Chains A and B, each alone.
Chain A
Amino acid sequence: MNRVVITGIGVITPVGNDVKTTWDSFLKGKSGIDTIRAFDTSNHTVKIAGEVKDFEPEKKFDPKIIKRLDRCVHLCLWATSEAVADAQIDFNKYDRTQIGVIIGSGIGGLHTWEREHTKFIERGPARVSPFLIPMMIPDMTSGYVAIHWGLKGPNYTTISACASGAHAIGDAFRAIKYGDANVVVTGGSEAPVTPFALAGFSNMRALSRRNDEPQKASRSFDVNRDGFIMAEGAATLILEELEFARKRGAKIYGEIVGFGATGDGHHITAPAPEGEGARRSMERAIKEAGCRKDEINYVNTHGTSTELNDKFEAMAIKNLFGDHAKKLILNATKSMIGHTLGAAGAIEAVVVLLSIRDGVVHPTLNLKEPLPECNGLDFVTGDPRKVTIDYAISNSLGFGGHNATLCFKRFSD
Chain B
Amino acid sequence: MALFDDVRNIIVEQLHVPPEKVTLEAKFIEDLGADSLDTVELIMAFEEKFNLQISEEEAQKLDTVGKAVTYLEDKTKT
List A residues at the B interface (Cβ < 8 Å).
Answer: 62-64, 67-68, 126-127, 129-131, 134
Query: B48 — which chain A residues lie within 8 A by C-beta?
Result: 127
* Interface class of chain A by DSSP: helix
CB distance A64 to B15 under 8 Å?
A: yes
Total residues of chain B contacting the partner, CB 8 A: 9
Give the Cβ gap from B49 to chain A, nearest Cβ, in Å: 13
Contact of A130 among B15, B16, B37, B53 (CB under 8 A): B37
Say whether B29 faces chain A, with CB atoms less than 8 Å apart: no
CB distance B16 to A64 under 8 Å?
A: yes
Query: B47 — which chain A residues lie within 8 A by C-beta?
Result: 126
**Extra pairs beyond A63-B16, A131-B41 (10, CB < 8 Å):** A62-B16, A64-B15, A67-B16, A68-B37, A126-B47, A127-B44, A127-B48, A129-B41, A130-B37, A134-B37
- Looking at A67, A68, A130, A134, the one whose CB has the most chain B CB atoms below 10 A away is A130
Of chain B, the residue at the smallest CB distance from A127 is B44
Of chain A, the residue at the smallest CB distance from B15 is A64
Of chain A, the residue at the smallest CB distance from B36 is A130
Give the Cβ gap from A131 to chain B, nearest Cβ, in Å: 6
CA of A68 to CA of B37, assembled, Å: 10
CA of A145 to CA of B40, assembled, Å: 24
* Residues 11 to 38 of chain B near chain A (Cβ within 8 Å): 15-16, 37
Of chain B, the residue at the smallest CB distance from A128 is B44
Give the Cβ gap from A367 to chain B, nearest Cβ, in Å: 48
Offer 20 A-B interface pairs, CB within 8 angstroms, sorted by A.
A62-B16, A63-B16, A64-B15, A64-B16, A67-B16, A68-B37, A126-B44, A126-B47, A126-B53, A127-B44, A127-B48, A129-B41, A129-B44, A130-B37, A130-B40, A130-B41, A130-B44, A131-B37, A131-B41, A134-B37
Give the Cβ gap from B11 to chain A, nearest Cβ, in Å: 12
Query: A63 — which chain B residues lie within 8 A by C-beta?
Result: 16
Of chain A, the residue at the smallest CB distance from B53 is A126
Query: A131 — which chain B residues lie within 8 A by C-beta?
Result: 37, 41
CA of A63 to CA of B15, assembled, Å: 10
The 8 closest A-B pairs by CB, nearest first: A64-B16, A130-B40, A130-B37, A130-B41, A63-B16, A131-B37, A129-B41, A131-B41
CA of A68 to CA of B41, assembled, Å: 11
Give the Cβ gap from B73 to chain A, nearest Cβ, in Å: 22
CA of A130 to CA of B48, assembled, Å: 15
Query: A68 — which chain B residues lie within 8 A by C-beta?
Result: 37
